Structure 1
């Protein structure tokens, strides 16, 4: 007896041949028939927006359908999309929390997230009940520090979450806008886009939003940066090339690991440096009052003398990021 073809594999072959409508129809039928793999595949298509129109709300629901049908890998993605409501797809923090707690009964990482979330002072929507305490810095207007922005346990969670995917860091090429590797930045980096943003990371992003008084949707994905001995980030501005429609307005840095020497963040034109302690955050603007790159905020991550400098970084834009995906897909 001939084997029944897997719907996801059959759809992939059809898509490779350019028969996207037929592939889409095949997956839709398979989802209706209760195929978990088809639901996860179609969710990925809806998320990517390359074969079919990006629809983050539909992707969230399809990941939930896949999870309910037994696709375990779909559960964290469904929870993330419920918690963050990426792209205006609608947030349901209580539902995400309930699913995470249910998963915690058999998953150690979920249990750890629940413990961290329960230790945070959050309202029913996952927002901090009070904005973090900040102290303005005399170096320049708009600069502040928050000595206990993250707890040691939260720092450890970010460090552990980042460790498997750290890779050589990139910079924005001012000529093309593309990310490229360059000797100006010798470090390792990873980021947590909305699809991989667990509830703890999203709660931290909402804490950053509360402290900066800008919407959480204005933040680029949280990054974790690792600098080993001799690693550095030479003088640079965090502002994007001139003409960018949605400029970076500020940066938040958070120290995730102590026990290294050197590695200060130096602002030569201000005559000021920041080292920070475990869990401490630094905020500084990127633009001047006229909306141009502020030359005073050109800064460098000085070479690390010994140990590993590990920091979180979040760039804040002037407006929410556009998550609509490629245009022109018919369905």
Structure 2
């Protein structure tokens, strides 16, 4: 678990911020040409990309989860691999395997599909927990250990996983440790009537394979580095910590947001601010990202689940309880 430190780094110039926002808009437009009517979902997915986080897309079949994942991969000029998770998939099918070479009389490592810049883990919750755990190390440390030898994966590295709701047949619930490694969990949702008609009109013409890459891995690496230079004031660090503490102390919560979750929120807020054309974070950025970053990290008590309480309800309570930090010199209204 590594924190992004924003202190004592060179400040971003307005030209840097404007250039970042323009390129981010081009990436979003490119993906939006295939994923119609979901600009905020695309923006949040790009936020995770620039914050060096991973994306979990959960929704019912047929709403465009895999299309979004493939469109993100096609927009970046780099290596991408797709892993179709099934009940009989083995951990070695994901990470790779060491094989004895008769010609050289030695063991050779054959990398698995996880060795790519963008890895699409399709229907990740259809695989067994043992296979799901093959992604734990690589998602956090960007390395794969096979037979005691560590192998680094290419950088930048992004996992875009899709899953169907856990109530559906043939699915295994993702363990909490793995959920915590996803920066954001997003739901694509059903399109509006107008968008669905537009999809039908051009169903055969819009395909992720037809997209042209807008950025390469070098450019993406520079954008990631810029996101780490965004200014976030100390009161906003405190605000993030207090929001997480509010989830831990909530009466309906069994396990609240971890410190990794707080780091994820501040990292995502820095990237989101740049996408919005700012070199500094506002409290509104943290509020916008609170549910996508925090909701999947909260474990509700059994009683809360029976009452129909959701993670979103807990986060709404946290936002109401924790006062928003005000700029220096501003006093809250009396009463």
Whether these two folds match at TM > 0.5 is no
- Structure in which a larger fraction of residues adopt strand: 1
Q: TM-score, normalised by structure 1?
A: 0.26
- Structure in which a larger fraction of residues adopt helix: 2
Higher relative contact order (CA 8 A, sep 6+): 2
Q: TM-score, normalised by structure 2?
A: 0.26
